[in-house]
Amino acid sequence: MRKLTCMIDLHLHLDGAISMESARQLAKLQDIPIPETDEALNALLTVSPDCKDLNEFLEKFAFPCSLLQTREGLENAAFNLCTELIAQGVMYAEIRFAPQKSCDRKLTQREAIVAVLAGVKRSGLPCGLILCCMRDANNQAENRETVELCGEYLGKGVCALDLAGAEALFPTADFEDLFVEARRRGIPFTIHAGEADGPKSVQCALDFGAVRIGHGVRAAEDESLMERLAAEKIPLELCPTSNLNTAIYADLSGFPLRKFMERGILVTVNTDDPSIEGTTIAREYELLIRQFGLSGDEVRQLLRNSVEASFAPDALKEKMREKIEAEFAE
C-alpha cells in the first residue's frame, strides 16, 4: 500500500485534536494542573474502547475544552494541530470549533475566533476554519452570535458554518432559524446529521440548504435519500473510526463506504476527533483500504472528492489536484 503524502481532512474538531504533547504545553502555558503520567493524561484525552454511544463520546470534550479558554491556549492549540498535520502529510484541512465553548473565562466568541485564526496563519498550513453552532436547549443567543461572526469573517480565514453536538437529543429540525439566517448572509454550511439520528436528520439538513453533510452514514438506510445525495452532488464527510467509537457500527464490515460509492455519492475520508479516537487521517485511509480492498484509483478518487468538496478557493483546489495527480503518477 502506498504511503499517502498529500491528504486532506475536511471534518476535524479542534477540541478533539489536542495531542498529549500539545495538552502538556497548553496546560503549562495557562497554569492548568494536569496528570503527571502519560497514562493518566491519555485517559483524559482518549475515549474508552467500551464507549456506548455519541452522548458518552461527547463527554470526552470537557478536558480538552478546558485548555481552550484563553487567547494563548486557542492560538497555540491551532498552531500545534496544524504543524502536526503538516508532519503527517496533510496538505489542506478544514478545522472546526465552537467559539461559544471557549468563553468560560470571559473570552468573547470574536476573540476566540481571532486567536484560532492567528494560530492557523502562523503554522503556514493552507486551512479553512468552520464555526460550529451547538445543539443545546438554552444557547439560542450564542448560536445567533456564531452565525453573525461567521458572516463577518467569511473569506477572512473562516470558510463555513456547522451545527454539532448531541444530535439525538437535539434534532436537526429544531435549528432551522439558524440556517435561514446563514442563507440570508450567503454563508455556506455543513451540518452534522445522520450520525446518532436517522435518515430524517440528513433529509432535514438538505432541506435547510446544507452543501455538505457531517457523517451522514445513516443515509444508507434510505434508498431515496441516497439518490438525492447523488443527484444533488452533496458530499458526505465520513469519519470511520469515530462511528466505531460512538457504536454506530460494531466493526467496519457494516460501514457503508462501498454502498455510497456504488451509488455515485461524493464521499470523503476524515478523522473527526483524532486525539480522542487515537487516529490520524493516514490511519483512516489504511483502515478503509484494508477493509474494502480499495484500489489505487479508488483512493485517488477519494482524495479528489475531498478537493471538490472543500470550501477552498479555486486556485488552491487546482494546486491540490496537481499534487494528487503527481503522487499517483509515480
Task: List the catalytic residues.
Answer: 195
Q: How do beta strands 236-238 and 212-215 pair?
A: parallel
Q: What residues contact 39, with CB distance under 8 A and at least 6 apart?
A: none
Please report which residue ranges of 246-295 form alpha helices under DSSP H. Answer: 257-262, 274-277, 281-292
DSSP state of 234: -
Under a CB-based contact definition with an 8 Å cutoff, are residues 284 and 9 in contact?
no
CA distance linking residue 102 with residue 65, whole number of Å: 7
Half-sphere exposure of 38 toward its Cβ, with a 13 Å CA cutoff?
A: 4
CA distance linking residue 224 with residue 263, whole number of Å: 11
Residue 272's Cβ-count burial label (10 Å; 0-12, 13-18, 19+) is buried
- The grid coordinates listed for 196 are 446518532
- The grid coordinates listed for 320 are 491540490
Under a CB-based contact definition with an 8 Å cutoff, are residues 82 and 93 in contact?
yes
- The grid coordinates listed for 300 are 485517488
Identify the H or E element spanning 73: helix 71-88
φ/ψ bin of 16: left (φ > 0), alpha (ψ from -120 to 50), beta (otherwise): alpha
φ and ψ at residue 278, rounded to 5 degrees: 70, 45
Q: How many C-beta neighbours within 10 Å does residue 30 have?
A: 16
